[in-house]
C-alpha cells in the first residue's frame, strides 16, 4: 500500500488491519521509520519523521521540561517514542509527555517496559507544516478527555494552544507560558522567545 504523508510517498507493509497490541507491534517492526499509533476505533495512524525545525523545537522543549522536572521532582519525562494506552482504547505517542511519579510507581516495571497504560499529566505537541490545525486541536482534547491535566500545542509560526481545567486558550507569540500540574511544588514555565526566532519555517 502506498500513501502520501508529509509530502513524500511512503510504502506501508501492513498486512491485515492492526487492532491488537501484538499486531501493532508487528507493524512498528516492519516500518521502523514511521510513528505507529492507533485510534480508539482501531484505525492506524502512521506518521513520518519530523522535519528539522520541529525536531529542534522538540529538543528545546525537552530541555526545559526535564530541567523543571529535576528541580521539582515531579515525575518522569517521555519523548515521542513512548506509547501511551489511553482509557478509551487509543494508543498515542505525543511529542513530549510527563507523568507524575506516584502514578508511574503504581505500574509494575514489567508493564513499563511496554506501552504505558496511563494518560500523561502533561502533553506537548509541536505542529509541523503539514499538521492540520483542527486535527491537532482534536488530539489535545482527546488527551484532556482521557485525564491529562494540561495538553498544549506549539506552532513556531505564532500560536500556542492550551487545553487545561480552565478550558481552551490560544495565545499569539507569547514569550513565556506558566503551567500548573497537580501536586507540583512550582509551576512549569516555558520560555518561547528563542523558539520563534530559530524555528520559523518559510
Give the tens place of pLDDT for each residue, 94-147: 999 999 999 999 999 999 999 999 999 999 999 887 788 888 999 999 999 999
Q: Give the chain's mean pLDDT.
A: 84
Enclosing domain of residue 73: 51-199
* pLDDT for 131: 80
Tell whether 61 and 27 lie within a shared domain. Answer: no
Tell whether 55 and 147 lie within a shared domain. Answer: yes
Tell whether 78 and 7 lie within a shared domain. Answer: no
Asked whether 14 and 44 are in contact (CB, 8 A), the reply is yes
- H/E stretch holding 103: helix 101-105
* pLDDT for 19: 65
* pLDDT for 44: 80
Tell whether 76 and 4 lie within a shared domain. Answer: no
Give me 184's grid cell: 507540583
Give me 165's grid cell: 481545567
Give CA–CA dist 120/94, Å, rounded: 9
Tell whether 19 and 89 lie within a shared domain. Answer: no
Count other Cβ atoms within 10 Å, centred on residue 199: 20
Question: Where is pLDDT greater, at 36 or 141?
Answer: 141
* pLDDT for 104: 97
Answer yes or no: pTM beyond 0.75: yes
Question: Where is pLDDT greater, at 85 or 7?
Answer: 85
Percent of the chain whose pLDDT exceeds 70: 88
- What CA–CA distances, in Å, run from 5 to 10, 12, 35, 47? 7, 11, 12, 7
**Dihedrals phi, psi of 9, to nearest 5 degrees:** -80, 135
Kindly report the length of the chain: 202
Mean pLDDT of 188-194: 87
* pLDDT for 194: 75
- H/E stretch holding 149: none
Amino acid at each position: 500500500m502506498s500513501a502520501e504523508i508529509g509530502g513524500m510517498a511512503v510504502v506501508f507493509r501492513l498486512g491485515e488491519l492492526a487492532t491488537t497490541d501484538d499486531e501493532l507491534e508487528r507493524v512498528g517492526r516492519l516500518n521502523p521509520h514511521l510513528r505507529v499509533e492507533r485510534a480508539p476505533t482501531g484505525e492506524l495512524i502512521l506518521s513520518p519523521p519530523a522535519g528539522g525545525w520541529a525536531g529542534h523545537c522538540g529538543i528545546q522543549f525537552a530541555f526545559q521540561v526535564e530541567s523543571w522536572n529535576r528541580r521539582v521532582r515531579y515525575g518522569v519525562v517521555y519523548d515521542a517514542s513512548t506509547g501511551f494506552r489511553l482509557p478509551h482504547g487509543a494508543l498515542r505517542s505525543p511529542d513530549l509527555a510527563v507523568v507524575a511519579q506516584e502514578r508511574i510507581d503504581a505500574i509494575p516495571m514489567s508493564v513499563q517496559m511496554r506501552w504505558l497504560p496511563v494518560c500523561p499529566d502533561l502533553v506537548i505537541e509541536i505542529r509541523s507544516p503539514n499538521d492540520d490545525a483542527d486535527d491537532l486541536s482534536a488530539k489535545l482534547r482527546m488527551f484532556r478527555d482521557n485525564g491529562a491535566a494540561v495538553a498544549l500545542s506549539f506552532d513556531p509560526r505564532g500560536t500556542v494552544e492550551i487545553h487545561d481545567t480552565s478550558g481552551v486558550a490560544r495565545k499569539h507569540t507569547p514569550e513565556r507560558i506558566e503551567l500548573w500540574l497537580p501536586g507540583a511544588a512550582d509551576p512549569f514555565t516555558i520560555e518561547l522567545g528563542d523558539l520563534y526566532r530559530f524555528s520559523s519555517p518559510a
